[in-house]
Structure 1
Amino acid sequence: MPLALLALAISAFGIGTTEFVMMGLLPNVARDMGTSVPTAGYLVSAYAIGVVIGAPLLTAFGARTPRKRMLVLLMALFTVGNLASALAPNYAALLAGRVLAGLPHGAFFGVGAVVAARLVTEDRRARAVATMFLGLTVANIVGVPAGTAIGQALGWRATFVVVSAIGLLAMVTLAALVPEMTAEQRTGLRQEVRALGDRQVILGLLTAVFGFGGVFAVYSYLASIMTEVTGLAESSVTVVLALFGIGMTLGALVAGPLTDRALRPTLYGGLGALAVAMVTFHAVVDIKWAAMVMVVVLGGLGFMTTTPLQMLIMQKARQAPTLASAGNQSAFNLANAGGAWLGGAAVAAGWGWTSPMLVGVVLALAGLGIAVLAGVLDGAPTLSRSRIVARGGVPGLRRARAAESVTG
Structure 2
Amino acid sequence: MAKRNRLLILILTIGVFGILNTEMGVIGILPSIAEHFDVSITRAGWLVSLFAIAVAVSGPTMPLLFSGMNRKKVMLLVLGVFVAGNVVSIIAPNFTVALIARVVPAIFHPVYCSLAFTAAAASVSKEEASKAVSKVFIGVSAGMVIGVPIASFMASAASLQMAMAFFAVVNMAVIVATLLFVPSMPVEERISYGAQVSVLRRSTTWLSIAAVIFLNGAVFGVYSYLAEYLKTVTTMSSSAVSVVLFIFGGANIIGNVVAGKLLTDRAIQSVVSFPFVLGAAYILLFLFGQFSIPVAVITFIWGIIAGIGGNINQYLMMSSAPDAPDFANGMFISSCNVGTTLGTAAGGLLISGMGTPYVVFVGFLFLVLGFVTILLRNVRAVTQTNLNSL
Which of 271, 281, 305 is 2:275 aligned to?
Answer: 271
Tell me what 1:403 maps to: none
SS of the residue 1:380 aligns to: helix
CA separation in 2, counterparts of 1:237 and 1:89? 34
Q: 1:192 to 1:337 in 2, by over 3 A?
A: same
Which has the greater radius of gyration?
A: 1
Which of 338, 342, 350 is 2:342 aligned to?
Answer: 338
Which of 156, 160, 164 is 2:164 aligned to?
Answer: 160
Tell me what 2:224 maps to: 220
Contact 2:51 2:106 survives alignment (8 Å):
yes
CA separation in 1, counterparts of 2:73 and 2:235? 48
TM-score by structure 2 length? 0.88
Q: 1:346 to 1:378 in 2, by over 3 A?
A: same
Name structure 2 gaps, 5 residues minimum: none
Tell me what 2:288 maps to: 284
CA separation in 1, counterparts of 2:86 and 2:308? 28
CA separation in 1, counterparts of 2:90 and 2:18? 15
1:207 is displaced (CA, Å) by 0.8
1:147 is displaced (CA, Å) by 2.2
1:368 matches 2:341: no
Contact 1:24 1:241 survives alignment (8 Å):
no
1:301 is displaced (CA, Å) by 1.1
SS of the residue 2:179 aligns to: helix
Q: Percent identity?
A: 27
CA separation in 2, counterparts of 1:190 and 1:331? 21
Q: What amino acid sits opposite 1:114 in the alignment?
A: T
Q: 1:235 to 1:112 in 2, by over 3 A?
A: same
Across the two proteins, how many residue pairs are aligned to each other? 385
Q: 1:277 to 1:386 in 2, by over 3 A?
A: closer
SS of the residue 1:308 aligns to: helix
CA separation in 2, counterparts of 1:386 and 1:351? 52
Name structure 1 gaps, 5 residues minimum: 388-408
Contact 1:108 1:326 survives alignment (8 Å):
no
Query: Aligned-pair RMSD on alpha carbons?
Result: 2.8
CA separation in 2, counterparts of 1:364 and 1:22? 29
1:117 is displaced (CA, Å) by 0.8
CA separation in 2, counterparts of 1:157 and 1:248? 29
SS of the residue 1:331 aligns to: helix
CA separation in 1, counterparts of 2:295 and 2:81? 38
CA separation in 2, counterparts of 1:214 and 1:249? 18
TM-score by structure 1 length? 0.84
1:366 is displaced (CA, Å) by 1.4
Contact 1:44 1:337 survives alignment (8 Å):
no
Contact 1:45 1:336 survives alignment (8 Å):
no
1:309 matches 2:313: yes
Q: 1:264 to 1:283 in 2, by over 3 A?
A: same
Contact 2:203 2:380 survives alignment (8 Å):
no
